[in-house]
Chains A and B, each alone.
Chain A
C-alpha cells in the first residue's frame, strides 16, 4: 500500500480532485475549441451563429499577405529548429558532462535566462546589437536572418532543457563501457549517446519549431521591410478586433501542430518500446 491517505476523507476527496482537474482542463481547452467552432461560423460576429460554412477558409486561400507570412514563418521555424537542436545538444552535453570549467555558473545562467526573460527586453537588446553590427560591419540586413538569430536564442534554451533532462537519465555505465572497449570520445557520442537521446532531440526540434512559428515580439523587433511573419500578420489584425479569417487560420495551424505532436509522440513511444525490448534482449543474451 503505497498510496497516501486522502486529505479530506475518501469519497469527497476523489470527487474534489476530479472536479478540480476537470475544471482546469476545461479552462485550458475552451478557447481552443471556441476558435475551431467560430471558424465554421458563417456570420462574421462570434456572438451570432449564422450556420456552418467554409466561407472563411475560401477567403484564406486568396489572402496573399497571410500566405506569404506563413511561408516565411515556416522557413524561419525550420532553420530555428535545426539550429536549436544542434546548439542545445552541445549546451546540454556541456552542462551534464563537464562539471568544472571556467565560468560554468555564468554559462548555466545564460542558458536558463532566456526561458523567463521578457521578450521585449531580448528583442530590443538584440535589435540594438544588430543595428550596431550593421553600422560597424555592414551586415546583417534586418529580415529572415535577424529573426532567425532571435528565435535561435529562445529555441536554444528550451532545447537545452529538454536534452539535458534526457542526458541526465542515461546510464553512464554504457558510455564508460564503450570507452573501455576503445571507442574514441566522438565515437562514444555518435554510436552510444546519440541514439539514446534521439527522442529528446525530436521533442526539442518540435518545441523550437512551434516556438518560432508562434513568436510575435522578437519578430516584431527583428523583422525588416517585407519580412512579415504569420504571427505578425495575425497580431496586427487581432489588435483591430475579431476577424473570422484568423479563426480559420488558427484552426488549420492547430490541426497541423496537433498532428505533428501526436505523430512525434507516437514515434517517440515506439522508439522507446523498441529500445526497451532490445535492452531486455541484450540482457538475456
Chain B
C-alpha cells in the first residue's frame, strides 16, 4: 500500500469526529441488543420448527454425513397443524376471543376516554392516574381476584343472579347453567376485557385530548348537529387512537395464556395453552415452534399496522 494512501487514511481517521463514535454507540447498543434478543430468537424458532425430533433433542438442519452436507427440512409439523381439526379450531377460537375482547374494550373504552378527555382540565390528571394505577398493580392478582368474584357465592356472581343476567347468558350459550359463571366463555371475556381496557383507553384519551375543539364549534356554526359533528369530526380525528388501542388489545389477546388458564374452562381452549402444552407437557419443541410460527404469521399484519400507527403517533407530535 502506498505511503500517501496510508497517510490519507490516517488523516481521515484522525479527523473523524468523536461525536460520530458516540452516535454509533447510542444507536448500536440498543440495536445490537434487539437483533440478538428479539430478531435472532424468531429465526431460531423458524429453524427448529422445520427440524426433526430425535429421542430427546431435535436434529440440526445441516448434517455432515460421509463427507456430504445434507440439509433436512421437515414441514410435517405445519402439515399436521393445518390438517388437525384441534389446531385449526383453537386458532379460530383464539382469533374470535381476541376480536370479541377488542370490540368490548372499544365499546366501553371509547365513551370512557371521550368523557375523560372532555372532563374539567383540573380533574384530568387524577382521572388519568386512576386508569393507570391498576396497570401498576399486579395483573396476575387482579385476574385471580375475578375467580373469587365470579365463583358461586361471590359478590359479582350474586349481583348478576339478582339482576337475572344469568338467564340471558344461558340463552346466549355463554354459561352452561344458571348461576354458574366461572370457567366459561363469559368469565374468560370478562377477565380479558378487564385486563386490556386500560390499553384501549390510554391511546384513545391521548388522541381525544389533543383534538382542537374549535372544529366542533365550526361544524355547529355551519349547522351540524352534535351527533353529526361527533361522527364526522371526532371519530375520524381519533382514528389513530382507535387503531393503536385495538391493536394493543387484539394482538396480545391472541396468544393470551394466564387469563384463559385462571378464568377459562374446557370450552375456551386457546392457542397459548396448546403451545404451552406442546412445550412443557409433550416436550415437542419442533411442534411448539411450528405452533408459534403460525401465530406469528397470524399477527404479522396487525403488527405492521400497529408499528405504523405507533411510529406515526409518537413522531407526529414534533
Contacts and interface: CB of A to CB of B under 8 A. Distances in A.
Interface of A: 1-8, 17-18, 20-21, 24-25, 27-32, 34-35, 38, 45-48, 87-88, 90-91, 93-95, 98, 101, 103, 107-122, 124-126, 128-129, 132, 149, 152-153, 156, 161, 164-165, 168-169, 184-186, 206-207, 210, 213-214, 216-217, 221, 231, 234-235, 238-239, 241-242, 246-247, 250, 253-254, 257-258, 261, 265
Looking at B27, B130, B198, which has the most chain A CB atoms within 10 Å of its CB? B27
Question: In terms of DSSP, what is the predominant structure of the interface of chain A?
Answer: helix
16 contacts: A4-B217, A20-B111, A24-B112, A24-B197, A27-B108, A35-B142, A94-B26, A110-B35, A120-B275, A124-B289, A210-B138, A217-B258, A234-B141, A235-B261, A253-B141, A261-B133
A120 B255 contact: yes
Given A34-B148, A94-B26, A2 B129 contact: no
A49 B118 CA distance: 41
Contacts of A126: 37, 41
Question: In terms of DSSP, what is the predominant structure of the interface of chain B?
Answer: helix
Given A4-B118, A217-B258, A128 B44 contact: yes
Contacts of B35: 110
Number of contact residues on B: which range applies?
35 or more
B140 interface: yes
B189 interface: no
Contacts of A185: 18-19, 22
Interface in B14-62: 18-19, 22-23, 26-27, 29-31, 33-35, 37-42, 44-45, 48
Nearest to A188: B19
Contacts of A214: 138-140
B49 to A, nearest CB: 10
Contacts of B194: 27-28, 31
Given A32-B142, A118-B299, A153-B37, A2 B214 contact: yes
B161 interface: no
A45 B154 CA distance: 10
Interface string B154-167: 11100000000000
B213 interface: yes
Interface of B: 18-19, 22-23, 26-27, 29-31, 33-35, 37-42, 44-45, 48, 108, 111-112, 115-116, 118-119, 127, 129-131, 133-134, 136-142, 144-149, 151-156, 194, 197-198, 213-214, 216-217, 220, 226-227, 229-230, 247-248, 251-252, 254-258, 261-262, 272, 275-276, 279, 285, 288-289, 292, 295-296, 299, 303, 306-307, 310-311, 314-315, 317-318
B258 A98 contact: no
Contact of A125 (B30, B138, B292): B292
